[in-house]
Homo-oligomer: A and B are copies of this chain.
């Protein structure tokens, strides 16, 4: 009573959410800042989480008929300039290659030499360079649809960076498709958004809201941008994936034309869609607790760690034999198309050992000592429960029910996140209530505010801008199915509005 509960991460979420995030990234050994401005190093534990997300999505893409390919890292400046809104959106923050050599300068140090005739931009996204290839690949309606995806690194020279969430270089996938008709392109835009939602909800255990962006928040050059938005534990929104209907804008810019069935020449209709390593930041902030990250089992870098307890040296051979046999039995199983991954940690470092794995977010910690072996049992801690909550389980039941246990954790994480999102989402009709909802209760913790407001908006950019400037709150999306009613706009009070999601966002 009154005693402070120990936790592994300091500060806690309640004390300082932004700093908690940085400390979790560090304590969990997911990634680190590099010596290059705004670029991160993804460490093995973080990278294997990303690999599992990649493999999950890649399978889903391929099931919809998409093929992978690879396009150049560099985009000639003139290509970027082909689409007016597009270049406007990306020119402000891009890495520009101007030389192709380093040479001894006057002071003996190396200086850039061999100036390029045309500067090259390191791709911030690849619509224009991929469009160049597509203009060659697409000749007839028989070549359509063309369904391509690329796994790649991209660079956007962000001024303020935050690891995983906003870095100068990040890893992502970008899908690019070409269609003969507007309807088919719109259908594909939505199909890929649904894939993203399924990956987020079923694999990352991260509930999302699907909808479209306002004109102001659209991808530069798109006709329509759809997105999935998730709620983090500071109640801010994270845009977790976007899928764009590009109309004929990029087809015109890159001359992607085809001969129709009735032998007319027509511009094609294109889409693009992307998700990135930002999803790792989303996993941290959706599920993490004051002990660190909690990995959803379906994408976890490893599923369980076995921790042999050998206080007396003479116990060691028996315990290790038992542990290795158990590891082998578990590794024979598969879970969501992947072999079960089991870590065995027999380091002799006392209590730090268990804490290491808690901080790393491994779904299950399994302690095995001579007493457990005598009872043919294991002592199991679930990462989704408190760190003190551990229970003895018979070995056979544990092995046979292993994937069910993982599914139970997965479901629990999703339920908890959904409950949090629902609890912190409110329909708000009055501007006073809206302002209060987004005004932090405590100036020292500006991140603690209401959450998602579902409020009517007239559709006007002026209202959207006013709210953004007043409260730093943006329209995250216009949820699919949100219809125009006589509700009054939360900003200007005019009727004929739609309910949209307002929130502070990453």
Contact = CB atoms under 8 A, between A and B. Distances in A.
A209 interface: no
Interface residues of A, number: 62
A47 B67 contact: yes
Given A34-B72, A95-B97, 6 more contacts: A42-B70, A74-B95, A87-B110, A92-B102, A94-B101, A100-B157
Interface string A103-140: 10000011110100001111000000100110010000
Contacts of A114: 157
Contacts of A136: 32
A101 B97 contact: no
Contact of A97 (B91, B97, B152, B153): B97
A69 B98 CA distance: 29
B69 A43 contact: yes
A101 B35 contact: no
Interface of A: 32, 34-36, 39-44, 47-48, 50-51, 67-77, 79-81, 87, 91-103, 109-112, 114, 119-122, 129, 132-133, 136, 148, 152-153, 155, 157, 169, 171
B101 A98 contact: no
Contacts of A98: 96-99, 112
Nearest to A113: B96
B91 A129 contact: no
B110 A101 contact: no
A60 to B, nearest CB: 16
Contact of A44 (B50, B67, B120): B67
Contacts of A80: 102, 110
Contacts of A152: 153
A171 B70 contact: yes
A90 B355 CA distance: 44
Nearest to A109: B81
B70 A41 contact: yes
Given A48-B67, A129-B36, A110 B97 contact: no
10 contacts: A34-B71, A35-B129, A51-B68, A70-B171, A73-B122, A93-B100, A95-B120, A96-B99, A96-B102, A97-B97
A41 B133 contact: yes
A35 B72 CA distance: 9
